[in-house]
Amino acid sequence: MAQVKFESHAERVEERIPFQTLVHEMLEQLGEDPKREGLRQTPARVEASLKWLTRGYGMNVDEVIGDALFEEKHESMICVRDIEIYSMCEHHMLPFFGRAHVAYLPNGRIVGLSKIPRVLEVFARRLQVQERLTDQVADALCDVLKPLGVGVVVEAYHLCMMMRGVEKQNSKTVTSALRGAFRDDGKTRDEFLRLVHGGSFAL
């Protein structure tokens, strides 16, 4: 019986076409001349840019939070509002950007405030859809903090709707993820939404 050889992941990686070669080919497919002055360094720039924009694949929540968890008996809602986000739509690989509002109701433990935007970065800096991004942030904070509840609202503009397709310039997409008391208790949910919508969001 013939033996079937299975390639390892490392072997497959070694056989991949270099990133810059793919960009060079893409430019040719678009009808451009990759050798002209303005495009000579474009493959290298595109590689560096996309790796930066998707650096979240190399990050994880535990590492970005580190030891910034503190035992604290604070019993009121903690909300970090108007966190700028930039991400890439996985359907068209075009950016979407906007702001996120994140709150949690602690259960004996709090996290350093700067870590909340960092958790957002872990998931935003990937190929994404806004709906999943919103859920991932909420679930990650639930896992780490074990709070009484978490609320996340993301408001974003999508270039895949603005510069192509329907070309609607003023459409803003709003998604929410509510966990625990934010979902089950009307007063907690109302307080969160009042905090979130207490100001305006403009470009």
pLDDT at 201: 46
Query: How much is the average pLDDT of 104-130?
Result: 97
Of the candidates 127, 202, 137, 128, which has an alpha carbon nearest to the alpha carbon of residue 176?
A: 137
pTM of the model: 0.87
Q: What is the pLDDT of residue 169?
A: 86
Residue 120 near residue 83, CB atoms below 8 Å: yes
Write down the pLDDT at residue 164: 86
The average pLDDT across 71-83 equals: 95
pLDDT value of residue 15 = 79
Question: Is 60 exceeded by the pLDDT of residue 100?
Answer: yes
- At 199 the pLDDT is 52
Beta strands in the chain (DSSP E): 69-71, 78-89, 95-105, 109-111, 127-128, 149-158, 173-180
The residues assigned a catalytic role are: 89-92, 130, 158, 160
Domains and CATH numbers, the chain: 9-53 (1.10.286), 63-196 (3.30.1130.10)
